[in-house]
Every structure is written in structure tokens, then in C-alpha cells.
Amino acid sequence: MSATETRDAASSYFTVGAEIHDSKAPAGPIERKWQKRQFEAKLVNPSNRRKLTVIMVGTGLAGGAAAATLGEAGYNVLNFCYQDSPRRAHSIAAQGGINAAKNYRNDNDSVQRLFYDTVKGGDYRARETNVYRLAEVSANIIDQCVAQGVPFAREYGGLLDTRSFGGVQVQRTFYARGQTGQQLLIGAYQALERQVNAGTVQMHTRHEMVELIVVDGRARGIVTRDMVTGAVEPWFGDAVVLATGGYGNVFFLSTNAMGCNVTANWRAHRKGAYFGNPCYTQIHPTCIPVHGDTQSKLTLMSESLRNDGRIWVPKRAEDCVKDPRDIPEQDRDYYLERIYPAFGNLVPRDIASRQAKYMCDEGRGVGPAVAEVDRDGNQRQVRRGVYLDFSDAIGRLGRDAVASRYGNLFDMYAQITGENPSETPMRIYPAVHYTMGGLWVDYDLMSSIPGLYVGGEANFSDHGANRLGASALMQGLSDGYFVLPNTINDYLAAGPFPPVDASTPETVAAVDQAKGRIERLLAIKGSRSVDSFHKELGSIMWEYCGMERNERGLMTAIEKIRDLRQQFWSDVKVTGQSQDLNQALERAGRVADFMELAELMCVDALHRRESCGGHFRSESQTEDGEALRHDDEYAYVAAWEYTGEGAKPILHKEPLVYEFIELKQRSYK
Amino acid sequence: MRIKLRIWRQAGPDAPGAMQTYQLDHVSEEMSFLEMLDMLNEELTAQDLEPVAFDHDCREGICGMCGIVIDGAPHGRYNSSVPTTTCQLHMRSFADGAVIDVEPWRAGAFPIIKDLVVDRKAFDRVIQAGGYVSVNTGSAPEAHSTPAPKRQADKAFDNATCIGCGACVAACPNGSGMLFTSAKITHLAMLPQGQPERALRVKAMVAAHDAAGFGGCTNIGECASVCPKQIPLASIGQLNRDLIASLFKGDGK
Amino acid sequence: MALTGLVLIAFLVMHMFGNLKMFLGGEAYNHYAEWLQGALESGGILEPLLPHGWFIWIFRAFLLVCLVLHIYCAAKVWAASLRGRGRKYVSVTRREQTVSARFMRWGGITLGLLLILHILMFTTKTVRTGFTASDEPYTMFVKAFGNWWVLAIYIVFMIVVCLHVRHGFWSAFTTLGGNVSPKARAILNALAYFVAALIFVGFLLPPVAVFLNLGVN
């Protein structure tokens, strides 16, 4: 097919709408923009704040931090989460660390460098203004967390320790052993509970958002399902913030928590919020390989392991079944060190992941062979794993030093696999980990629906096409502690808005929609379980919209997804009733939304005929097999507008203008 | 592997409950305990029976959402050679043909919602009473302005690893939440940032603990033995020490 | 609870030393008993600080207050436990709970009942086992423990006491903030066993000796 023909092939799946030219970042030098925005934002008088209600969905780093901070400011906050406590949000599982431009190491770090590294790491598909701000507030995050009592790793002098992390050459990553996310989240959780105690935040746990209420073009509330009683009820506010995390579970197997879902975001998308860059998915290179078809989730091993571990596969396929300790040095292929001598094992995640896939595709993978179906529908057995070896580090630093750095990760690995990594190399393989895409937001983090804000992984804003290690925690907390609380006031200053209540027609409609959907799911009484649909959807996405994508595959995937969606709505079996705790029903609602999102992801991946960051199109690569961007055509954010079930989405392009950083083809060689 | 499960089924908070027996025939050793329950639920769904409700989320041992009493011990502690959460317990820890008892956390402060799911809001209430440092966003001093001695910081960290799963309460013959409470007390007591509110915090949290319906601690030690994060019994000693010290301070009177 | 418990343990140790005096012979033993009661011609304990015979009653009152407080606290803790633990497990495994910890409450009740019997026998002399109300303390002691079943009850009594002391001693110091490290835990536990064993042996030596007719006359 010629280039024009393929463009036509892709374009038959969507229509193109108006471009977005104003992301509302103020003009001027980049280092003055945030200050300027804060100065220009309209303020709300402290005594008026308690008259304004903010609905916050999610209690992770972004949601929890924002709810606490808005509560401290005196707003009335209604906070929701699907878990039984705000402390369970999946931010808790982040292991490695959090970046901050503190330059404590005196190693040339600065806001400018963190900004540059993040844009470069994102393969020049992030919005400059947002990223600069992220780098700017990063240092404040560390101060804030330390003051809250977050027990970061310290040196004997009592000062904070830092380490280097995937994709950068400075040591700017702060950490708390292998549980940084947990410690940061507990810090935010404590701040949040303090506000609950103060009465500014009302916490509603085990409540799942199932609809957004938009009145007169403004987001004015949400509809939730009480997961214990099944009650479907509306909640009202002057602004709504979604901090509901990523949608990696569309792949079924991912490192996300089992409950992570796209429902809140997707409901907002259906009500008019644009979805930005849905195809940008991050595949994390260091996860524990799949053991079999009953696997429910994948476990990440912190990328920090790559600081001291060396990745290799046997040079010869016949060595793959051997005990790795019996394979001599000369028969090992340390492929990352070989291909990327400057960065070695610390190349960005997407590169590390793809190379692992290639090694296994070549037949040099290790570990148990797992059955899979290839694109031509053939069954095959493939070993999906590469070694991550610590014997050099143990030789150099000693067993204790290595254990003190990675002890809990080693224990975790041993517990899951029954093998001890200080004795035999770990086996790792890439897994879906993070989604850079999310609801489109402007500089203020407001979506295309006025009054609907989106923070953390749920928005698309800061990581471009690929996220650097230890940047997710930074972004979540930056959005939550510092950005949202300084931008949302600009919108709220016009409030309180006219009252809405349960009898407002838009509320009635939203509640009816939510209830109708639940009833519909329960009424199908088909023959297949929700999980079986989810697994099938996941395998389609992993095969066609995973580490490597191409046009034919994506078009196939779209067909398969449409079929599967149809089957789902006619044959899914949801047991039980809606009036009590019904986990099958919860999952069914989430999978239904994943089915719709999956198609949009494929359409987005199909339309972006370039490789960038986590999105690798096999049609677009250099002679060395590296990702090849097409900045002339695709240097934009794809913001998708929903037009109805089965209708073509509208693509709004937001051109990415690089004023302060020069676009370069990424090279880690 | 073939296993027989005896699982507590309870339709709702006020419904009577009972153990029910299920047989599973194709369990693999590599499966986690929760994956085994997923498998059971798939089979129940196929038979048009309602699946067993159980809490779980991250399935990597960190969120604290999962929690089941397995063979009489929270998280199946004594089936595993190492401290574990339920999600990190693997079927290789069980013998072929095993009969496994599965019950929810049982504690007055954790009422059952359904089957194996309990309500742990009582923990949040304990934290609300004072499990924090009162510092508003934006008012923090530069992180390096207060060095924290490494040894103390490490101890703080050890206690901060508590995941709030509630295994300590489930294991305690008194249904006491003292290990949970003491982990937060010790975490913040070991850091310079936690000092200003130290006396006030311990009084308030212990009072909230008692008000939340937990039993009193009688220093038995079951809690620390099943804790997946190995919070030591010594933390309760630290709480007691702080509590006694707080009686001689003006704060919180 | 910890404080009253420790006072009672201290009393036990003192009582034990008193009992051991019987190995010094009847005179020394009777002298000690009279000294405690302030019944000596020279006065007795704490005289002339306290008027004649007052000490024993102040001391008894103090012990009784401690005991009542101890029981009151125990009742409160017990009530909190019944509320705190909710419905019972169908199957339960406890690995850490020691026998002594397990029998704190029922053991405490048993101990209380035996204590009443003990007082009825040797203090008020209401229950007489082979001795008369006018016997001197030493004679009473020897006559009483000449009966195998008195000795048997006493052994049971001591077992219950020592189990209670074992967990009580450790628990009291933990409650007072003594257990803040694994090392402290090991030391406290060892001390608890030592004190319990000491009391057990110390209290049983005299009656056993009486029963076996060893070193007593």
C-alpha cells in the first residue's frame, strides 16, 4: 500500500475536527510562566471557600494530595474511592523513587535539566509548558513530604540519599527503600485523614464513580454506586476533579491493581472530555514473567534493579534451558550493554522492553515456555523472559550492600517465583505498567469540559509518549499538592454556581443512565464470565497494540474488539444482584468501558504512523530498528472527542510547539 | 493439585454465615492463593452460583486490601515460610489434597460486609485522630534543614511499612489494634518532624483506638507474628513508653 | 493493671521470703509472724513510727486496694476483648500465645478463689485442716501441710500463681514501656520466667519439706 492509501485506511476510522491552539499557558519566558499563571489566576476569599464544593475522585498521590490541600485551603471536599480506604490507591505500589531537581549531588542537575530530560524521555511528545512546571515544583515536593514524616532513605549524616534512575545520568531520585510510592502515599493519606478529622474533607470509600453530571456545559457532579449497598446516588459540587489513575488494565495482565479502571475517565469522555493520546502505553521492562494462563496480574520489579543488575540472554538458543549459572561469560549476550554502550542497562523503558521482546522472539528467551497465539492465529510455545543478573554487583559490593538496596525486591521475587535472586539470576519480562495517555487537559489541568479537572496518571499531560522512571510519583504529587490547588481557584472564583440537585434534569438523566447500564448488565444472563471477556480483550491488545504495532494488526484488532464487544453485550454472565456487594457486577461495568477504550486506543495507534516513545510502529523505524519519529506530521497531541456509540471519533490536534527545546531524534547509543 | 476448601459464606452483614465446602481439581502450584480463588469463582459462575466475595487489589503485597484467615491464621501465615500477605501466598505452600479453611477477619471493630469482606474503617478513624504531622502544603521548610539520624530514620521506616491490612487485629485474641496504632506512633516518634505533636498524638490515637471498638492489648504477640511487614512487638512497647511519658506533659489534657 | 500487678508480685516475693524463714525453726518463724502483726513485746514492724498493730492492717488494706484495682482493670480489659474480638473463628491457630498468656483470665479467677481459701485457712483460720485456732503459726503450718491434699491444692495454687506471674511480669513491664527492642524483649521474658520459677520454688520448698519431714521439726 502506498502512503496515501494507508492514510485513507486509517482515516476511515475517524474524522478530523478543529485544532487546539491555546492550552492556556501564559506567554513569556518558560521559567516565568507558572509564576505568571499563579499571579493572574483569580482568587477565592478564604471565607468564601467553605461555600464551594470540590468533588475529588480518587485518593492516590494526585487525588489524595489535592483533596488534602484543598481541604487545608478551606474548600469543602467530597472525596471518593473504590477501595475500602484511601490508603490503598495504587500509587502505593510504585517502588523505585521520585525525581526532584534538588541537585544535592552537585552533579549538574537543575530544573532546566529535569525539564529537558523529561521532554526528551517523552520522545518530544509532551507539552513543554507543563513539563517545565513539573520540574519547577519537584523540589517542593521533597520538602513537603519530608515535613510530613515520609521516611526517605538517608545517609549517616542524616541527609537524604539519592540514586540514579532509568534514562538519566544524574542522581536525582529520592527513595524509601523499594517502597517509595507507599511512603509517599501514606504521607498524602495522613494529610488527607487530618482534613477528614478537621471536617473539610468528607471521605466516601467503596464508592465507584459511574457517571458524570454536566449541567449548562459545566461539570457539576458525579453519580456513584455504593459498592456495599448498591445504591446509585448523585453528588454535587462546583468543580469535579478526576484523579483516577491509568487504564493499563485494558490489557488484562498489567502491573496495575486489579481494581484499576478507566470507568470514571471514560464516562467523562462520553460526556465531552477529550481523550489525549490513548495509544501511549508504557511497557515496563522489569516485571516477573507470566507463569501460566491463570495469572491474574503481573508484578513489577523496580527498575532501580537495573542500576546494579546486568541484563542478558544466552548467545545460543540451545543454552536457554540450561541453569544460567552454568553458562560461561563468553556465551552470554549482555545485549543492552552491547547495543547501547553509553547507557547500557539504563536505557529508557521502551527500548529496554522492546529489546527483551526481540531477544525472546529470536528464541533466546529463558524460563518456562508459555503458549501463545501469533498474529496468523498459530499456537506456539515461547520462552518469555531475560536474565537480570546481580552476581557482578554482589562481587563488587558484597551481598549485604546489595541486600540493603534491593532486599525487599529480592524477597518479593523469591516469594513469587520460589527462586533466590542472590543465588540465581532473576528472570524478567516487560509488562504493561503505565499509560501516558489520559484525558486531555490544558495548562490548568482542566479538561475540555469546564469545571472538570484531571490530575495524575489520569491526564495525558506531562510524559509525552514515554515516562521516565520515578516521574509518575513526581507528577502525581505535583498535580495534587501544587498545581491543582493553584489553578482550580481561578475557575471557582466565578462560583458558587447555580444550585443543582437530584431533580435537575441532567442529574435525573445521569442517574437513569447509570442504573440502566447496571440493569442491562444483570439482565443479559449469558454464558461467559466477565473475566473471560477481559482476558480475551487483553490478549488482543497485547498482541496488536502492545510493544510493537502495525497497520494491519491494528485494523484486525479493531474488528476483533468490535466483535468481542458485541458478544459481551449479548453473552456476558453477571451473577448476583445490584443491591449488595457484587464484585462481578463491578468488573462487568469496568470491562464494558475498557472495550470501548480499546477501540479508541487502536484507532489512535493506527492514525499515528510514526514511532515515538512507548508507541512503536514497525513501519516507522530507522535502519537500526530504532523508533523513528515524524515531527513534521505528528508533533501534536491527539485529543479525541466522543461522538456516540459506534460513531467515528473526532480528532482534535494540539500542535506541540517547541520553543525552548530543540527536537532531536532520541539516541541512547 | 487437588484441594478442598471450606469457606465462610455470609450473604450480608446481618445474615447468618456458615462454612461451605468446595472442591478444586486443577490448581497449579504457581498460582497465588487469590488466583486459586479466582479459579473457584469462575467455576461457581459457570454453575450459576454466586462467587465468593473477597477483598484484593494490588496483588503485590503492598496495598493492604487483601486479608483472609487461612487455616486459622491471618494471610495463611503458618502455611508460608516467610511473612506474607494473602495475595503473595502461593499454592506451592500447600500439599496436594490439602483441606484449607478460609475465614474472614473476625474482630468487633471489623464487621463483615459479605463472605470474606470486612469493613476496616476503624483504622482510618485511628489515623484521623492524630496519625500525621500537621503541616499544610506549601509551608514545609527545605528538606535538608533538619537532618534525621539514619538509625532513627530506619526505625521510622520499618514502622512506616505497615500496610494497614488488619492481620494484627484478626490474629489478636483480644481483637486489639494496638500493633497498627503503635506502628504509626513509632514511625512519627522516631523522626524530628514528629516531635512537636508526639505527646498529643499518642493520647489521641490510643483514645480513638479504644473508641473504635478494638480490644485492649495484653502483650501476647500473635499480632507481630502474623504481620506481613514484620512490625515488631517492640513498637507497642514504644507506644506504651510514649503514652506514659505523655501523662507527664501538658499536651492534650 | 501493670502497677498493681507488680505490687502484688512484690508482695509475693516478700511473702515467700517470710515462708522460707521456717527453715530457721519454729521460733524464728513465729517471731517473724508476730513481728508482722506487731504482736511482739518490743512492738514489731515500723513501730514506733506506727502505733502498735497498725501496720498489718494498713498493709492489708493497701494490698486489698491493689487487688481490687487489679481485678477491676482485668474486668475492663476482658470486656473490651469480648467486644473487640467479635465472633469466634471456626478454626484458629495461635503460635505466639503462651500457656501463661492464655490462662490469664480464667487463671486469675481460679487464683482468686484459691486465695480466698488460703486466707480462710491461714489468716482467719476459719477452715482448719488438722490444726486448731490457738496453734502458733509454725505449728499450724506443719499440721496443715501434713495432709497430702492440702499440699496438692497448694501446688495447684502455686502453678496458677506462677503462670499468672510469668505473663503478668512480662506484660507489666511491656505496658510500662520496657519492651522497645528485641533485646529488651528477651531480657524481660527471661526475667519473667526467672521470677515465676523463683516464686514457685520458694513457696513450695517449705510445705514439701514439711510433708516429707525434711529439715523441719
pLDDT, tens digit, for every residue of A323-359? 999 999 999 999 999 999 888 998 877 788 989 999 9
| Parent domain of A373 | 284-433
- Please give the average per-residue pLDDT across A431-458, as a whole number: 97
Asked whether B and C share 3 or more beta-carbon pairs under 8 angstroms, the answer is yes
Last residue of a domain, one of A386, A411, A433: A433
Residue contact B225–C184, C-beta within 8 A: no
B65 and B124 belong to one structural domain: no
Mean pLDDT confidence for C70-91: 95
Does C102 map to a domain?
Answer: yes
- In angstroms, the separation between the Cα of residue B49 and the nearest Cα of chain C is 24
Same structural domain, B236 and B124: yes
pLDDT in the model for residue C215 = 62
- pLDDT value of residue A369: 87
Name the more confident of A325 and C37: A325
Instruction: Enumerate the residues of chain A whose CB falls inside 8 A of the CB of residue B164.
Output: 85, 87
Q: Is the pTM of this model over 0.90?
A: yes
Residues of C in contact with B6 (CB under 8 A): 90
- Specify which of A173-177, A475-479, C33-37 reaches the highest per-range mean pLDDT: A475-479
Q: Which residue is associated with the grid cell 482485668?
A: C74
Cα–Cα distance measured from residue A599 to residue A601, given in angstroms and rounded to the nearest whole number: 5
Domain co-membership, B129 together with B228: yes
**pLDDT tens-digit profile of A519-560?**
999 999 999 999 999 999 999 999 999 999 999 999 999 999
Q: Searching chain B, which residue's CA lies closest to the CA of residue C92?
A: B72
> Which CATH number is C118's domain given?
1.20.1300.10
Same domain, residue pair A603 and A473: no
- Give the pLDDT score at A381: 87
Nearest Cα neighbor of A373 from A556, A617, A571 is A556
Distance CA C16, CA A226 (A): 64
Which CATH number covers residue A368? 3.90.700.10
Q: Report CB contact under 8 Å: A146, B156.
A: no
What 3-state DSSP class applies to B2? Answer: coil
Instruction: Looking at the structure, tell me whether residues B130 and B223 fall in a common domain.
Output: yes
Neighbours of A401 (CB within 10 A): 13
- How much of chain A exceeds pLDDT 90, in percent? 84
Q: From the CA of A419, how many Å to the nearest CA of chain B? A: 12
* pLDDT of res. A6: 55
Number of domains composing chain C: 1
Is residue C2's pLDDT more than 60?
yes
Rounded CA separation C91/C2 (Å)? 32
If you measure CA to CA, which chain B residue comes closest to A259?
B57
Q: How many residues does chain B have?
A: 253
Whether A259 and B57 lie within 8 Å, measured CB to CB = yes
Q: Supply the DSSP symbol for A481.
A: I
Mark whether A323 and A218 lie in a shared domain: no
Cα separation, A115 vs A138, whole angstroms? 10
CA distance A434 to B139: 31
User: Could you report the per-residue pLDDT of B14-33, keeping only the tens digit for each?
Assistant: 999 999 999 999 999 999 99
Enumerate residues 6+ apart whose C-beta is below 8 A from A232: A210, A223, A224, A225, A226, A511, A514, A515, A518
Co-location of B128 and B236 in the same domain: yes
Do A313 and A276 share a structural domain?
no
Close Cβ partners of B237 (under 8 Å, ≥ 6 residues apart): C174, C177, C178, C179, C180, C184, C185
- pLDDT of residue C57 exceeding 80, the answer is yes
The candidate with the shortest Cα–Cα distance to B220, out of C175, C200, C92, C158, is: C175
**C217 is a domain residue:** no
The contacts of residue C136 (CB under 8 Å, 6+ apart) are C26, C30
Q: How many domains does chain B have?
A: 2
Mean pLDDT of the A2-7 span? 52
Q: B73 and B129: one domain?
A: no
How far is the C-alpha of A28 from the C-alpha of A6, rounded, in Å? 40
Task: List the single residue in C with minimal CA-CA distance to B177.
Answer: C84
Q: How confident is the model at residue A8 (pLDDT cuts 50, 70, 90)?
A: low
Cell numbers for A231: 445504591
Residue B10 maps to a domain: yes
pLDDT tens track for B39-95: 999 999 999 999 999 999 999 999 999 999 999 999 999 999 999 999 999 999 999
Q: What is the pLDDT, as a whole number, of residue A1?
A: 42
Does position A232 have pLDDT exceeding 80, yes or no? yes
Average pLDDT, chain A: 94
Does A497 map to a domain? no
CB spacing of B88 vs A160 below 8 angstroms? no
CB atoms within 10 A of CB A158: 16
Q: Determine whether B70 is exposed, middle or buried from the number of CB atoms within 10 Å of its CB (0-12, 13-18, 19+).
A: buried
Chain B environment of A177 (Cβ under 8 Å):
157
CATH number of the domain within which A540 lies: 1.20.58.100
Residue A466 CA to residue A468 CA, distance in Å, equals: 7
State whether A129 and A242 are in the same domain.
Answer: yes
Inter-chain CB pairs, B–C, below 8 Å: 137
What element of type H or E holds B156? helix B150-160
Tell whether A584 lies on the interface with B, counting CB pairs under 8 A.
Answer: yes
Q: Residue A581: phi, psi to the nearest 5?
A: -65, 115
- The answer to whether position B235 is within a domain reads yes
pLDDT digits (tens, 9 = 90+) for A234-247: 999 999 999 999 99
Do A534 and A448 reside in the same domain of the chain? Answer: no
Contact list, B144 vs chain A (CB under 8 Å) = 104, 159-160
Closest Cα partner for C138 from C21, C20, C14, C29?
C29
Give the phi and the psi of residue B194 in degrees, each rounded to 5: -90, -5
Residue ranges of alpha helices (H) inside chain C are 2-20, 26-37, 54-85, 99-102, 104-122, 137-144, 148-175, 182-212
Tell me whether residue B252 is exposed, middle or buried, using C-beta atoms within 10 angstroms of its C-beta: 0 to 12, 13 to 18, 19 or more: middle
Instruction: Tell me whether C99 touches chain B (CB under 8 Å).
Output: no
> HEC states along A417-457?
HCCCCCCCCEEEEEEEEEECCEECCCCCCECCCCCEEECHH
Residues 6+ apart with CB under 8 A from A265: A242, A244, A247, A273, A275, A438, A439, A454, A458
Q: Give the pLDDT confidence score for residue A2 in this predicted structure.
A: 45
Residue B168 lies in domain: 120-134+148-247
Facing B150 at nearest CB: one of A69, A89, A156: A156
Residue pLDDT, tens place only, B182-235: 999 999 999 999 999 999 999 999 999 999 999 999 999 999 999 999 999 999
Q: Does residue B19 sit in the same domain as residue B82? A: yes
For residue A621, the surrounding DSSP H or E stretch is: none
Q: Are residues B95 and B125 in the same domain?
A: no
What average pLDDT score do residues A82-98 get?
94
Cis status, amide bond into C48, omega within 30 of 0: yes
Q: Does residue C216 register a pLDDT over 80? A: no
Cell numbers at A643, concatenated: 461522538
**A 198-257 residues inside an 8 A Cβ radius of B:** 203, 205, 228, 255, 257
Nearest CA in chain C to B73: C93
Q: Do C177 and B172 touch (CB under 8 A)?
A: no
Q: Contacts of residue A531 in chain B, CB cutoff 8 Å?
A: 38, 42
Site from B63, B85, B161, B162 to mutate, A interface, most A CB atoms within 10 angstroms: B63
CB contact under 8 A, B138 and A482: yes
Domain with B194 in it: what CATH number? 1.10.1060.10
Residues A220 and A296 in one domain: no
In this prediction the ipTM stands at 0.97
The reply to whether A496 touches chain B by the CB within 8 Å rule is no
Distance separating alpha carbons of residues B123 and A101, to the nearest angstrom: 36
pLDDT band for position B252 (50/70/90)?
Answer: low
Going by pLDDT thresholds of 50, 70 and 90, the confidence category of residue B35 is very high
Are B93 and B175 in a shared domain?
no
- The nearest CA of chain A is from the CA of B64 a distance in Å of 7
Measure B52 CA to nearest chain C CA, in Å. 18
Touch test A–B: 3 Cβ pairs or more under 8 Å: yes
Q: Which of A84, A196, A295 sits opposite B65 (nearest CB)?
A: A84
Which of A370, A312, A283 has the alpha carbon at shortest distance from A546? A283
Q: For the segment A280-316, what is each residue's pLDDT rounded down to a tens digit?
A: 999 999 999 998 888 999 998 878 888 899 999 999 9
Q: Are B127 and B223 found together in one domain? A: yes
- The residue count of chain C comes to 217
Cross-chain residue pair C89–B106, CB shorter than 8 Å = yes
On whether both B213 and B155 belong to a single domain, the answer is: yes
Q: How many domains does chain A have?
A: 3
A496 upstream amide cis, omega within 30 of 0: yes
Q: Assign C185 to helix, strand or coil.
A: helix
Cross-chain residue pair A294–B90, CB shorter than 8 Å: no
User: What pLDDT is stored for residue B140 in this prediction?
Assistant: 96
Which residue does chain C place closest to B171, by CA atoms?
C94
For residues B127 and B232, state if they share a domain: yes
User: CB under 8 Å to A466, separation ≥6 — which residues?
Assistant: A121, A122, A123, A280, A282, A348, A349, A350, A436, A612, A613, A614
CB contact under 8 A, B50 and A411: no
* A93 CB within 8 Å of a chain B CB: yes
Nearest partner of A465 among A117, A20, A7, A119, judged by Cα: A119
Mutation target vs B (from A202, A253, A258; most B CBs, 10 A cutoff):
A258
Instruction: Give residue C126's domain range.
Output: 2-212
Which of the other chains make 3 or more beta carbon contacts under 8 angstroms with chain C? B
Q: For residues A468 and A388, state if they share a domain.
A: no
Neighbours of B248 (CB within 10 A): 7
Element (H, E) at B8: strand B3-10
Cβ(A360)–Cβ(A386) under 8 Å? yes
B242/C177 CB distance under 8 A:
yes
Interval A186-205: pLDDT, tens: 999 999 999 999 999 999 99
Residue A4 has pLDDT above 60, yes or no: no
Distance from CA of C193 to the nearest CA of B (A): 15
C146-196 pLDDT tens trace:
889 999 999 999 999 999 999 999 999 999 999 999 999 999 999 999 999
Distance CA A455, CA A244 (A): 8
pLDDT tens per residue, range A150-171: 999 999 999 999 988 766 789 9
